[in-house]
Amino acid sequence: MDKRFYVTTPIYYVNAEPHIGHAYTTILADFLKRHYRLLGYDAYFLTGTDEHGDKIVKAASEAGAKPREYADRISALFRDTWKRMGLEFDDFIRTTEERHRTAVQSVLQRVYDAGDIYFASYGGHYCFGCERFFTEKDMVDGKCPDHNTPLEYIEESNYFFRMSKYQAWLAEYIKANPDFIRPERYRNEVLAMLDGETLEDLCISRPKTRLKWGITLPFDDKFVTYVWFDALINYISAIGYPEDDRFKRYWPVVNHLIAKDIVKPHGIFWPTMLKAAGIEPFLHLNVHGYWNMEDAKMSKSLGNVVRPLDLIDRFGNDQIRYFFLREMNFGADARFSEEAIINRVNYDLANDLGNLVKRTFDMVKKFFDGKIPARDPGETAGLDAISAKYSEALSAYTGQVDAFQFSTGIERLWEFVRLLNRYIDERKPWLLAREKRTAELSSVMRNLLESIAGLAVVLSPILNRTAPVILSALGLPAESGLDAVSSLDALTPDTALGEMGVLYPRMEKEKQVVEQKPKAAEKNAAGPNAGEGLIDISEFARVDIRVAKILEAAPVEGSEKLLELRVDSGLDTRTIIAGLAPHYTPESLVGKKILLVANLKPAVLFKRTSHGMLLAAKKDKKDRPVLIELSDNIPVGARLS
């Protein structure tokens, strides 16, 4: 099959303005589109807005507007925000568009004709905020578990979709297709919903006496369609279901992106709806965790940047894209804080990548008058090893992106970035220049420039503003493809390098305007021994200690104490720099299961970034540290609690 890729975001409700959670999913979709396009795929990216239902009517009336005017305004705000952030969506669907209405009505008619929609009287506990009925099992003390407001018992006649009929089929389908819903924890979540009790059929209509703002049922004009049944169909209405070529072309390769909040409609309603309408299931449902905003709320300086455009203004476009993709382990929640962003910018972008580019350009300026040197035919300066590492990093990265493990993938590329920084330290071009070893110097500098070109191409889907700047400065087209750089021989000798300013300026934390003083209640909670070294359980809970496995270990050149370790944390594969060299040989460490402090701020040691710390015990300062080792039956990734 030729290479195609179709990525969708949830269509966002127009009852609120775009915020960083929406921005994350949409940036991720934009990244994926660019990444697969770079790999030669025909890639298509859809986003849009969800505009029907009670919720929107309510928000509009609060804003003193008609639903349509209100939806027009907020939908335009979403579209405009994504445009101004340079996101390259191919289509923006609104559920109030005619093309969407016809598709929804056509699906409804098909399912109705097949006998899977029936009319019945129903009494149930309804939440107006969620616009849905809750079963006895789902409600908490008679309240909505999400809104914590009392549910209202209402009785009405409505149309129902026979979802239960497809329960067994769906459970089987998910079991037979392990990647249908990923990561695994969400697949298991959906399977748990399907195991055991029979699914309730889905109420898919609202009487117009109660709600008019929706799509009229094709078989009964006294009812509108339930907003979720309407909204999910956007993924096919936008690509011209049923007849359009785009539907035939892209539907078989669809990748939905959502967060964990909307797993049930996507994991259960949607595949059963598709099945009933005789449409092939989607290919993948990819579920990410939540950005935890607590810190953002607390920090004065971040208070004004939760709007995506302000966020970009404050930190920079590429900085935010990199942060989003590197910081979140896809599937798990992540912390959104100014500090976390600044650490990524300063350590990964400024120290590792920015520094590599700057040092290299400065040296070419100094030693070669700013012109790209030719490699000396007799001196490769280790080109084979660099090429091998480049291809290795590239294939590890693309493999991880295919598996939606972006953070691990990027880390593998950064290993290559760090290797290049080490290459500079080891080859010492300034000495080569002083000693007039021009052949070696030319090849070293050329190898570096070519590697930077390779990295810029691979990273262009993430760093979409700075990668083209690097490529142009190297005399390459801003839109260079992977083929051009695959053998690290893309540059033309004698080309004058363009100007390269500071790509990623180091950032300072904004000063907190108001000091955060502990609240009285917190002080009391600390108990009578407060101030005597005791900590609150919540303080301990902030330390993420996990079982990890050491995969590789090597000495850090130039240091007698440090070892560079690669460890599998269960969340990712990461680098740890540990002061173990006097006590352990590298070989003796490989394969050990140890304890890792996984959420420690990255630290730079001997120009390498350490992402965490291993726990060791020693009696006193002079004592030899003994690593805390664990037995084999404790799984990697298990968290200490």
Task: State the catalytic residues.
Answer: 19, 22, 127, 130, 144, 147, 297, 300
Q: How far is CA 308 from CA 231, 314, 332, 464, 485, in A?
A: 24, 10, 21, 17, 34
H/E stretch holding 35 reads helix 20-38
10 lines the binding site for ligand MSP (CB under 6 A) = yes
CA angle 474, 475, 477 (to 5 degrees): 110
Q: How far apart are the first and last CA of the chain?
A: 48
Q: Which of 5, 6, 7, 11 binds ligand MSP (CB under 6 A)?
A: 11
C-alpha span between 187 and 189 (Å, rounded)? 5
| Cβ density class 136-162: b for 16+ within 10 Å, e for less | eeebeeeebeeeeeebeeeeeebbbbb
# of chain residues touching ligand MSP (CB under 6 A): 18
Q: Which is nearer to ligand MSP, 259 or 597 (CB)?
A: 259
Q: Is residue 418 a contact point for ligand MSP (CB under 6 A)?
A: no
The one segment of 19-27, 486-494, 531-539, 608-616 that binds ligand MSP by CB under 6 A: 19-27
- 77 binds ligand MSP per the rule CB under 6 A: no
Q: Does 12 bind ligand MSP (CB under 6 A)?
A: yes
Residue 13 engages ligand MSP in binding (rule: CB under 6 A): yes
- Which has the closest alpha carbon to 599: 536, 541, 518? 541
Candidates 5, 6, 22, 401: give the one binding ligand MSP (CB under 6 A).
Answer: 22
- For position 261 contacting ligand MSP by CB under 6 A, the verdict is yes
Among residues 25 and 569, whose Cβ is nearest to ligand MSP?
25
Contact window for ligand MSP (CB under 6 A) among 16-24, 348-356, 477-485, 543-551: 16-24
Residue of closest CB approach to ligand MSP: 21
Q: Does 258 bind ligand MSP (CB under 6 A)?
A: yes
Pick 10 or 240: Cβ nearer ligand MSP: 10
Q: What is the DSSP secondary-structure string of 344-365?
A: IIIIIIIIIIIHHHHHHHHHHH
- What is the nearest approach in angstroms of ligand MSP to the Cβ of residue 20? 7
Q: How far is the CB of 117 from ligand MSP (least distance, A)?
A: 20
Length of the chain: 641
For residue 425, CA distances in Å to 17, 231, 392, 428, 433 come to: 49, 56, 22, 5, 14
Stretch that binds ligand MSP, among 22-30, 311-319, 379-387, 500-508 (CB under 6 A): 22-30
Tokens encoding 252: 């078989």
DSSP H helical segments within 151-202, as ranges? 167-176, 184-194
Instruction: Say how many CA atoms lie within 13 Å of 121 toward its Cβ.
Output: 1
Contact between 424 and ligand MSP per CB under 6 A: no
Minimum CB–partner distance for residue 335 and ligand MSP (Å): 11
Contacts of ligand MSP in 275-304 (CB under 6 A)? 290-291
Closest CA to 555 of 568, 566, 542, 564: 564
Which whole-number Å values give the CA distances from 524 to 357, 447, 519, 538, 542, in the listed order? 52, 61, 9, 14, 20
21 lies in the binding site for ligand MSP (CB under 6 A): yes
Any contact of residue 50 with ligand MSP (CB under 6 A)? Answer: yes
Alpha helices in 548-623 (DSSP H): 586-589
583 and 574 Cβ atoms separated by less than 8 Å = no
**Binding span for ligand MSP by CB under 6 A among 255-263, 350-358, 497-505, 582-590:** 255-263
Nearest approach in angstroms of CB 531 to ligand MSP is 36
- Sign of the C-alpha dihedral computed for residues 231, 235, 240 and 244 taken in this order: negative
Residue 134 or 324 with smaller CB distance to ligand MSP = 324
Q: Which is nearer to ligand MSP, 231 or 424 (CB)?
A: 231
How far apart (Å, rounded) are the C-alpha atoms in residues 213 and 288?
31
Long-range contacts of 29-33 (CB under 8 A, 24+ apart): 29/87, 29/89, 29/257, 30/87, 30/88, 30/89, 31/321, 31/325, 31/406, 31/461, 31/462, 32/5, 32/7, 32/255, 32/257, 32/401, 32/461, 33/5, 33/7, 33/88, 33/90
Give dist(CA 115, CA 229) in Å, integer.
17
The span of 230-238, 369-377, 525-533, 621-629 binding ligand MSP (CB under 6 A) equals 230-238
Using CB atoms within 10 A of its CB, is residue 517 exposed (0-12), middle (13-18) or buried (19+)? Answer: exposed
H or E element, residue 420? helix 406-427
Residue (3 or 297) nearer to ligand MSP, CB: 297
- Told to check if 259 binds ligand MSP by CB under 6 A, we report yes
Question: Any contact of residue 25 with ligand MSP (CB under 6 A)?
Answer: yes
Of 490-549, binders to ligand MSP (CB under 6 A) are: none
Shortest Å distance, C-beta 110 to ligand MSP: 19
Residue 416 touching ligand MSP (CB under 6 A): no
Min CB(108)–ligand MSP separation in Å: 16
Residue 18 interacting with ligand MSP (CB under 6 A): no
Please choose, out of 121-129, 258-266, 410-418, 561-569, the segment that lies near ligand MSP by the rule CB under 6 A.
258-266
- In whole angstroms, the minimum distance from the beta carbon of 62 to ligand MSP comes to 17
**β-pair partners for 205:** 225
3-state secondary structure of 78: helix
Residue with tokens 């993420």: 544
254 touches ligand MSP by CB under 6 A: no
Q: How far is the CB of 510 from ligand MSP (least distance, A)?
A: 22
* Stretch in the footprint of ligand MSP (CB under 6 A) among 18-26, 130-138, 378-386, 613-621: 18-26
Closest of 602, 93, 142, 119 to residue 326, by C-alpha: 602
Task: Closer to ligand MSP by CB, 432 or 571: give it.
Answer: 571
Under the criterion CB under 6 A, does residue 24 sit at the interface with ligand MSP? Answer: yes
Q: Which residues bind ligand MSP (CB under 6 A)?
A: 10-13, 21-22, 24-25, 50, 231-232, 234, 258-259, 261-262, 290-291
